[in-house]
Amino acid sequence: MSIQSFRELAAAVQAQEKKSRVAVVAADDAPTLEAVIKAQESGLIEAFLIGRRAMVEEGLARQGVDPTDFQIVEADSVEACLARAVELIGSNAADLLMKGHLETADFMRAVLDRKNDLRKSPLLSVAGLYEMNSYHKLIAVSDQAINTYPDLDAKRAILENAVGLLHACGFDRPRVAVLAAIEKVNPKMRETVDADALKAMNREGVIAGCVVDGPLSLDIATDRKAAQIKGYVSEVAGDADCLIVPDLVCGNVFVKALTGFAGAMTAGIVVGAKVPIVLTPRSAEASDKFYSIALAAYSARQR
């Protein structure tokens, strides 16, 4: 059975017998600590807080919690924090990673460094789940944060990474819409050509475990009435579980519109690595960080 809401997601993680252990890199960031504290106190995870002990303890105290309730791993620099996190993942002491008070570029550099052996897919991507009153179920979007202008091979990896996450969330055969402005292939619009190629790969069994349609406009992918009016018949039309965006700019603008104008709640993680990675922006709401941790913890236990 698929996860239908973030409340269901949190409850499912709480019900897991063994809690996922998260390695929080440079864990002296107040918004990060707030989310981690809530997640641990809610029974979602157990946290390793990596950083300068005095700063981490001070941050915990400011949040009104007892520092002795958390496992603090001493590291006196960003580089040392990253190294300790990699060690914890490599020894299976931790099940997932979370970025704290450091630059995203530094964090991702360590994740991508081949000597750290954290890659699983040929490509990493961000997949987010969105919950809003204007859509009848959770919907995934990818990739809105890492891959700038992906080519066909990269889009295939992005799609397969997102499908893997949806499988972990109980979607047996997710419906994937590869977005474009129109539904017809136009050689002058590369995104339509790529979408048609991805659909063909799915029909040929090269991309499995899902049903892919594209190119599809957003309204046809998510609105049954729009699909009926335009006479578009498809298993995906009006009922998409996942939207694959053409490029980072399109994806970034789209998801910020969902959260900013549509009031969507979100949970997003980096997929394609050996462990789920929580990489939320500083501007994210506390609830978004909390549910991102929940999504990472849930998917980690489904592997």
What CATH number has the domain bearing residue 189?
A: 3.40.718.10
Residue pointed to by tokens 């790969």: 201
Assess whether 30 and 156 both reside in one domain.
no
- Check residue 29 and give its pLDDT: 84
| Whether residue 110 sits in one domain with residue 130 | no
Sign of torsion, CA 196 197 200 201?
Answer: negative
Instruction: For residue 259, give the DSSP letter.
Output: H
The C-alpha angle 248, 254, 256, rounded to 5 degrees, equals: 100
Same domain, 241 and 288: no
Claim to verify: residue 208 and residue 103 sit in the same structural domain: no
On whether both 234 and 296 belong to a single domain, the answer is no
Q: What is the pLDDT of residue 290?
A: 92
* Whole-prediction pTM: 0.92
CATH number at residue 81: 3.40.50.10950
What's the confidence (pLDDT) of residue 101? 86
152 with 245, same domain? Answer: yes
Q: Within this chain, do residues 248 and 127 fall inside the same structural domain, yes or no?
A: yes
Helix (H) or strand (E) holding 85: helix 78-90
User: How far apart (Å, rounded) are the C-alpha atoms in residues 12 and 10?
Assistant: 5
Q: For residue 151, what are the domain limits? A: 123-270
- Average pLDDT per run of 10 along the chain, which is 303 residues long? 88 91 92 92 94 94 92 93 94 93 87 89 93 94 95 97 94 96 96 98 98 97 95 96 97 94 93 91 78 93 63
- Identify whether residues 294 and 254 lie together within a single domain: no
Q: Is 209 helix (H, G, I), strand (E, B) or coil?
A: coil
Q: DSSP code of 119?
A: B
Q: According to the model, what pLDDT value does residue 103 have? A: 87
Residues 187 and 262 in one domain: yes
Query: Is residue 223 domain-shared with residue 209, that is, in the same domain?
Result: yes
Please classify residue 258 by burial: count the beta carbons closer than 10 Å to its beta carbon, then call 0-12 exposed, 13-18 middle and 19+ buried.
buried
DSSP string, 153-175: HHHHHHHHHHHHHHHHTT-SS-E
Q: How many domains does the chain have?
A: 2
249 and 296 co-located in one domain: no
* pLDDT of the residue at 1: 61
For position 104, what pLDDT does the model report?
84
Same domain, 110 and 41: yes
